[in-house]
Amino acid sequence: MGQQRRKFTREFKEAALRRLELGASMAEAARACEVNPNVVYRWRRELREFGAKAFTGLGRSRADENRIAALERKEGQQAVEIDFFRDACSMSMSSAGCKH
């Protein structure tokens, strides 16, 4: 299954670009935001080209992404546990049937 692209809010992108305005290098801004420097370059270019109309899409915040990832991990763990208990019950039922 392919990896889904991360989506960032307008505020997140503006905060990343604000770091550049405050003197951070492109690499520092990218590292602080946990993105590739090319992404920050693209955001800066979009802001220059489109001004106030840049970043109109609906993004998700990093907190939302982390919460979704945690819930997906939990769901996977629960699926493993359900399979384990289903197999254990199946074995228990079949071994109980053999004793009679």
- At 43-86, the pLDDT tens digits run 999 999 888 888 877 655 566 667 777 888 889 889 889 988 88
Work out the number of other CB atoms within 10 angstroms of the CB of residue 65: 15
Give Rg (Cα) of the chain. 24
Quote the tokens at residue 90. Answer: 């199946």
On the CB side of 64, CA atoms within 13 Å amount to: 9
- At 6-22, the pLDDT tens digits run 888 888 999 999 999 99
Quote the tokens at residue 43. Answer: 């955001």
Quote the tokens at residue 63. Answer: 């907190």
Work out the number of other CB atoms within 10 angstroms of the CB of residue 29: 23
Every domain of the chain and the residues it spans: 10-99
